[in-house]
A and B are shown apart, each in its own frame.
Chain A
């Protein structure tokens, strides 16, 4: 009997890499990709491969590429915006090529659920001229991972696997195959072709362009592309949209000629032409950009086929947000000219409370933001933010974030603002992991160019938002112990920053004083707010409200901690309290006490 196991899409990709005999894995976490690598890290010792959390995606890709230069199979994983950070090595790696299979897993987040944009990695693959697989289920993601390693070695090119949130975070009963045992020695063979140079780039560019046609031709026979002809109406779909199309057709009781695309770039011509020759019109249903659609229009034009091709170009399929069965059913009903029988209407519900994500009860970032706001009270100030849990500091009542752009941009946006806005204090906020990711380069720049900014490092000793991964400032690596912990404070001092303060944000008075001193200092200054993430510690105490409470609700209205709940005219503290004691320090009636748990 085949062995099946419930695996999340990301775990299935990791399993695929293990079954493919991966030797090196590297990543920087980012939703929805993080579990690809955390799973690989978990099994690294058992299956004997190397795994590292790298400081950022560019570094991760280069580490993996180095291993692949020597002939080892390597995998690197990141979220869609991580590929922007890794774009520099990616674009030229396509010219240079690799020897061992190199699979780049880039998880897209249509919606977006947990991202700052909706960029489509299939489009990026097309730009980089690299083949890309687009899985529809965890099982297919696993199968495609193995196929991607093989294709990478056949073509000598890195191959991109692009799952979306609804593959990454979907669990399925996945078939587990044997893991081959192979002991291999790898040797980097020196050759001028590893050294990119203008004249070599030109030659390699010709080769890369030729490869596009070769790969498209190979994809003509890929098992991940499936054509089923039924009638003269065609539907083409890619990735998870395939599931939505099948279910929507079943709900509508309709049949069409259906082409499922698993390799959206380079799009194979054969199945597309076969479909075009057997239908009168077709619609392309894919999430995000018209990657498949534009290529089909080109294939039709090249072959002088004058079909009506619907999709994004005639605005039948949205380019923004996630698709689902309900959206696809409405699109197909319109396209097919059939009625979309919606379910019985319920009476509209009463007003529902807004429930946006907030910082956890007792989150040290809340205390840090509150302290920083107190410190600049009465002074014009801009708070430049960054990417992490602390982006939630933007929410009321903290309202403690004026800008957020991308990883590491807090320091640099604040620096830029400081050069043009006079009489305003510029503060930048980033986390410890973001500091090492791209914040450090911005800080070096701020010192070099003497930017008058205050950097507040929200150091919670982890990469919290993506599931608590380690980083160079912690005593652990992805798979073991790190005995070379890099101190953020020491790094800042070594850069020549003369005002570097380390404080505990739970001590509000001290934290306020530290930020005030840093803000009043001319030139770059750093305050490190040091307190472990509440999800990582077991609270020793809790807070409770005594009968001294006067019902002013200052604690709730200033802090917005989810453990503080209104109870009639007063406030009570709920079970999620972690005993941080910050509300006790803001209570004007001295009505909150801390007690042992």
Chain B
């Protein structure tokens, strides 16, 4: 059995750390794993994508179109942008927050929040949209949005790793002084999807 998770976001939101954490959880669960991340120029506020592929058969690290089981979107427009990666009936976990790019601020392009939300809500599979950025701030730092999203992910059924393994991977990989914030962020993400 294999599982493909794609993460969409904006450079600086912590997508790279999120995919590494999932991969470490997969290793804790004795599963083979690949990740592929956007590193380089796009990390300066550009579109970034992380791919995580777990289990067998495992071919390459980059998920083909229409094959991802789960899409985790850290930002509204970026979630919509990567929707073609999701398989029919796949699950979307999306942060409702928008990050307005400079192109929109300077009038070179448009960000139609209502249209994008509506389009996402029409997705014919499970689709959870919630304000993860607010939950991260409430947990102690806007930077913990990646951990909130992982908390939400951990509530999905049939993952190839347990939520305990995911939390263990998080705590092993974040700076020790942020442990409490990240524990809170993880729990907030779980609760957002009805977990505890």
**How would you classify the secondary structure of chain B's contact residues: helix, strand, loop or mixed?**
mixed
Q: Would you give the 0/1 interface string for A54-74, flagging 1 where the beta carbon is closer than 8 Å to chain B?
A: 000000000000000000000
- Cα distance A166–B37 when bound, in Å? 9
A interface list, Cβ under 8 A from B = 4-6, 31-32, 113-114, 136-137, 166, 169-173, 240, 243-244, 246-247, 250-251, 324-326, 329, 342-344, 346-347, 349-360, 389, 392, 395-397, 465, 556-557, 560-562, 564-566, 575-576
Contact for A114 among B42, B77, B84, CB less than 8 A: B42
With A6-B33, A247-B64, A343-B65: A357-B45 Cβ-Cβ less than 8 Å: yes
Q: Would you give the 0/1 interface string for B23-43, flagging 1 where the beta carbon is closer than 8 Å to chain A?
A: 110110000111111111111
Task: Beyond the given A329-B64, A357-B11, A396-B108, please list 12 additional residue pairs across the A-B interface where CB-CB is below 8 A.
Answer: A137-B60, A170-B35, A173-B32, A244-B59, A324-B64, A350-B116, A353-B77, A354-B108, A355-B101, A355-B103, A356-B46, A562-B101
The interface residues of chain B lying within 8 Å CB-to-CB of A170 are: 34-36, 61
Is B196 part of the binding interface, using a Cβ–Cβ cutoff of 8 Å?
A: no
Whether B42 and A349, one on each chain, are in contact in the complex, defined by CB atoms closer than 8 angstroms, is: no
- Cα distance A395–B64 when bound, in Å? 31
With A166-B61, A326-B65, A343-B87: A171-B44 Cβ-Cβ less than 8 Å: no
Looking across the interface, which residue of chain B has its beta carbon closest to that of A360? B44
Whether B106 and A357, one on each chain, are in contact in the complex, defined by CB atoms closer than 8 angstroms, is: no
Whether A349 and B83, one on each chain, are in contact in the complex, defined by CB atoms closer than 8 angstroms, is: yes
- Cα distance A356–B102 when bound, in Å? 9
The interface residues of chain A lying within 8 Å CB-to-CB of B32 are: 172-173
Whether A326 and B64, one on each chain, are in contact in the complex, defined by CB atoms closer than 8 angstroms, is: yes
Is B181 part of the binding interface, using a Cβ–Cβ cutoff of 8 Å?
A: no
Whether B110 and A351, one on each chain, are in contact in the complex, defined by CB atoms closer than 8 angstroms, is: yes
Whether A358 and B102, one on each chain, are in contact in the complex, defined by CB atoms closer than 8 angstroms, is: yes
With A353-B111, A354-B108, A566-B100: A171-B83 Cβ-Cβ less than 8 Å: no
List the 10 closest pairs (A to B, CB-CB), nearest first.
Answer: A243-B60, A114-B40, A343-B66, A357-B46, A247-B59, A325-B64, A350-B115, A31-B40, A170-B61, A357-B44
Contact for A556 among B36, B59, B60, B105, CB less than 8 A: B105
Is B1 part of the binding interface, using a Cβ–Cβ cutoff of 8 Å?
A: no
The interface residues of chain A lying within 8 Å CB-to-CB of B142 are: 575
- Cα distance A409–B161 when bound, in Å? 50
Whether A354 and B103, one on each chain, are in contact in the complex, defined by CB atoms closer than 8 angstroms, is: yes
CB distance from A396 to the nearest CB of B (A): 6
Whether A173 and B33, one on each chain, are in contact in the complex, defined by CB atoms closer than 8 angstroms, is: yes
The interface residues of chain A lying within 8 Å CB-to-CB of B81 are: 349, 352
Which interface residue of B27, B80, B101 has the most chain A CB atoms within 10 A?
B101
Whether A172 and B34, one on each chain, are in contact in the complex, defined by CB atoms closer than 8 angstroms, is: yes
B interface list, Cβ under 8 A from A = 10-12, 19-20, 23-24, 26-27, 32-47, 57, 59-62, 64-66, 77-78, 80-81, 83-84, 87-88, 100-112, 115-116, 119, 122, 142
The interface residues of chain B lying within 8 Å CB-to-CB of A355 are: 10, 45-47, 77-78, 101, 103
- Cα distance A31–B105 when bound, in Å? 29
CB distance from B90 to the nearest CB of A (A): 10
CB distance from A325 to the nearest CB of B (A): 4
The interface residues of chain B lying within 8 Å CB-to-CB of A342 are: 65-66
- Cα distance A576–B78 when bound, in Å? 18
Looking across the interface, which residue of chain B has its beta carbon closest to that of A353? B111
- Cα distance A561–B106 when bound, in Å? 10
The interface residues of chain A lying within 8 Å CB-to-CB of B45 are: 355, 357-358, 360, 562
Whether B104 and A353, one on each chain, are in contact in the complex, defined by CB atoms closer than 8 angstroms, is: yes
Contact for A113 among B23, B35, B40, B88, CB less than 8 A: B40
The interface residues of chain B lying within 8 Å CB-to-CB of A247 are: 59-60, 64
- Cα distance A577–B65 when bound, in Å? 36
Contact for A557 among B57, B61, B106, CB less than 8 A: B106
- Cα distance A350–B11 when bound, in Å? 22
- Cα distance A5–B20 when bound, in Å? 12
- Cα distance A346–B64 when bound, in Å? 16
The interface residues of chain B lying within 8 Å CB-to-CB of A350 are: 80, 112, 115-116, 119
CB distance from A16 to the nearest CB of B (A): 18
Looking across the interface, which residue of chain A has its beta carbon closest to that of B109? A354
Contact for A354 among B33, B59, B101, CB less than 8 A: B101
Looking across the interface, which residue of chain A has its beta carbon closest to that of B100? A565
CB distance from B74 to the nearest CB of A (A): 13
Contact for B44 among A351, A352, A389, A566, CB less than 8 A: A389
Whether B105 and A565, one on each chain, are in contact in the complex, defined by CB atoms closer than 8 angstroms, is: yes
- Cα distance A250–B33 when bound, in Å? 19
Contact for A353 among B19, B27, B109, CB less than 8 A: B109
Whether B20 and A166, one on each chain, are in contact in the complex, defined by CB atoms closer than 8 angstroms, is: no
The interface residues of chain B lying within 8 Å CB-to-CB of A352 are: 77, 80-81, 116
The interface residues of chain B lying within 8 Å CB-to-CB of A392 are: 41, 44
The interface residues of chain B lying within 8 Å CB-to-CB of A343 are: 65-66, 87-88
- Cα distance A576–B65 when bound, in Å? 32
With A349-B83, A354-B103: A166-B77 Cβ-Cβ less than 8 Å: no
- Cα distance A397–B110 when bound, in Å? 16
The interface residues of chain A lying within 8 Å CB-to-CB of B37 are: 169, 171
The interface residues of chain A lying within 8 Å CB-to-CB of B62 are: 166, 324-325
CB distance from A252 to the nearest CB of B (A): 12
The interface residues of chain B lying within 8 Å CB-to-CB of A354 are: 101, 103, 108-109
CB distance from B120 to the nearest CB of A (A): 9
The interface residues of chain B lying within 8 Å CB-to-CB of A169 are: 36-39
The interface residues of chain A lying within 8 Å CB-to-CB of B112 are: 350-351
Whether A114 and B64, one on each chain, are in contact in the complex, defined by CB atoms closer than 8 angstroms, is: no
Whether B41 and A576, one on each chain, are in contact in the complex, defined by CB atoms closer than 8 angstroms, is: no
Whether A243 and B61, one on each chain, are in contact in the complex, defined by CB atoms closer than 8 angstroms, is: yes
Whether A4 and B66, one on each chain, are in contact in the complex, defined by CB atoms closer than 8 angstroms, is: no
CB distance from A333 to the nearest CB of B (A): 13
Looking across the interface, which residue of chain B has its beta carbon closest to that of A31? B40
CB-defined A-B contacts under 8 Å, sample of 28: A31-B40, A166-B60, A169-B36, A170-B34, A171-B34, A172-B34, A173-B23, A173-B26, A243-B61, A247-B60, A324-B62, A325-B64, A326-B64, A346-B84, A350-B80, A350-B115, A353-B100, A353-B104, A355-B101, A357-B41, A357-B42, A357-B44, A357-B46, A359-B44, A397-B102, A397-B106, A560-B102, A566-B105
CB distance from B163 to the nearest CB of A (A): 19
The interface residues of chain A lying within 8 Å CB-to-CB of B83 are: 346, 349
- Cα distance A261–B155 when bound, in Å? 42
Looking across the interface, which residue of chain B has its beta carbon closest to that of A356? B46
The interface residues of chain B lying within 8 Å CB-to-CB of A347 are: 119, 122
With A32-B40, A465-B41: A353-B110 Cβ-Cβ less than 8 Å: yes
- Cα distance A244–B63 when bound, in Å? 10
With A250-B59, A353-B77, A353-B110: A114-B41 Cβ-Cβ less than 8 Å: yes
